[in-house]
Amino acid sequence: MTPPPAVPVVSLSADHLSGAVGATADPTVRVLISQAGADPADLSVVAVASSDSRVAGAGDVTVRGRGAEREVAVRARGRGLCDLTLRVTGLGGLHGTAVLRYAASGPVQHAADTRYFTGASDASAAVDVGGGHLVIADDESNTLRLYARGASGGPLRTWDFGERLGARKEIDIEGVARAGDTDAVYWLGSMSNSKEGKLRPDRSLLFRTRVRGAGSGAELLLDGSYRDLRADLIAWDESRGGELGFAAGAAEGRGPKRIDAFNAEGFEFAPGSTTVAYIGFRAPLVPAKAGGAALLVPVLNVAELVEGVAARAAFGEPVLLDLDGLSIRDLRRNSADQYLIVAGSWAADDNSDPYALYAWDGQPDHGAARVMDLPTGDPGGWECVVEVPDLDVPGARVQVIADCGSADWYGTGVAAKDLPQQAWRKARAVTFTVTE
């Protein structure tokens, strides 16, 4: 006698998925199905139930493919959480089910040009690695994550060099700079105190990685570090009479989100150089009062520091830029020595204060020009320029990423960085047209 068919087996590549109302290129999940004695192409997969159709209903689930692996996409109707039940039906009408826990954030401006990089929410520095991919640092961990730039979704690869760097706590990576067209990429901690004003030595790390390959196959290799940049900056400023107030701004008990604090967020090489790099400061402004100038300090021997050739950092003359009272949140250069600066408030870490993009030529005696105001009101504070296009070409486009760690994406009252489900954490990236 022929035995009865077995119950179909169904599993998901991920149990949790995040989407957004009105999104383009939202992430998907894979459904793996099988049934003993059955051709996978003969099995059907459909969504049969939702715990909250106001977020997404069964009819908002699309299943693509015909083999043992199917792709599931969800169209979000509203902000919130719901459980979506998927059912696979096979021989004998037998079926198996799986539940996808789905979270949808609300609509945003520029939705068609918005992508969501999931797995972490506190994007703080980003660098293009070619082939339509980028690596993003997160200031709440020491993990670097590789993503496809054009699609929403999770990281393809991750690297955490914290243990090898001797970091017990987060490095608070806020700056990144690629040395021209070489494979050398430098990462810089904020050098700031904690929000409670406690000293955080690991945040003073400057380290270098080498990029092997490109695109989805990119690999990062650790290649040197330096731990004393903060101390060198303070000593250098004190030797000049303390005109920038670094010692007071970095003193224990002084938090980082003050106009007179010590807090670096931008890092990029000077024009035509792979050795001299600018440190861009979120704080202090100079002078440390409303309307003060944004501050950059050139480091003259970056490579020698991470290679252990130089015992101490050497610095050039400070550069002051009038950014209309805003400070530097990121700094990026292209091969033509055109710079874009993300400028924002020294205080804000969300979407409550103005942000703008400024163009600059990297020359210390030249000013910066305001290119555009960055839209506010949506979750997150603008933090990263991925790469600078040719700013002399009409219609040039640039991708800018927001730190969304404080965002309550799903109306649950939980900040993104505190969500226990990593797949529901996400940072928002928008591509803007910056030249007419």
CB 36 within 8 A of CB 126: no
Burial readout 14-38 (b: 16 or more C-beta within 10 A, e: otherwise): bebbbbbbebeebbbbebbbbbeeb
pLDDT tens readout for residues 104-138: 999 999 999 999 999 999 999 999 999 999 999 99
pLDDT tens readout for residues 362-383: 999 999 999 999 999 999 999 9
- Start-to-end CA distance of the chain, whole Å, equals 76
Amino acid making up residue 367: G
* CATH number for the domain running over 9-105: 2.60.40.10
Residue among 14, 18, 15, 16 at smallest CA distance from 104: 18
Question: What is the predicted pLDDT for the residue at 350?
Answer: 64
The architecture in CATH of the region 111-433 reads 6 Propeller (2.120)
d(CA 68, CA 75): 23
* Domain spans of the chain, in order of start: 9-105, 111-433
Residue among 256, 330, 242, 252 at smallest CA distance from 294: 330
Predicted TM-score (pTM) of the model is 0.96
Local confidence band at 348 (pLDDT 50, 70, 90 cut-offs): confident
Local confidence band at 356 (pLDDT 50, 70, 90 cut-offs): very high
Beta bridge partners of 73: 62
* Owner of token pair 């810089």: 188
Triad 127, 350, 79: Cα angle to 5° = 95
Percent of the chain with pLDDT over 90: 96
| The two three-digit tokens of residue 423, written as one number | 């797949």
Local confidence band at 349 (pLDDT 50, 70, 90 cut-offs): low
pLDDT tens readout for residues 248-257: 999 999 999 9
Q: Is 248 helix (H, G, I), strand (E, B) or coil?
A: helix
CB 122 within 8 A of CB 138: yes
DSSP state of 244: T
pLDDT tens readout for residues 16-33: 999 999 999 999 999 999
Question: What is the predicted pLDDT for the residue at 222?
Answer: 98
d(CA 117, CA 279): 26
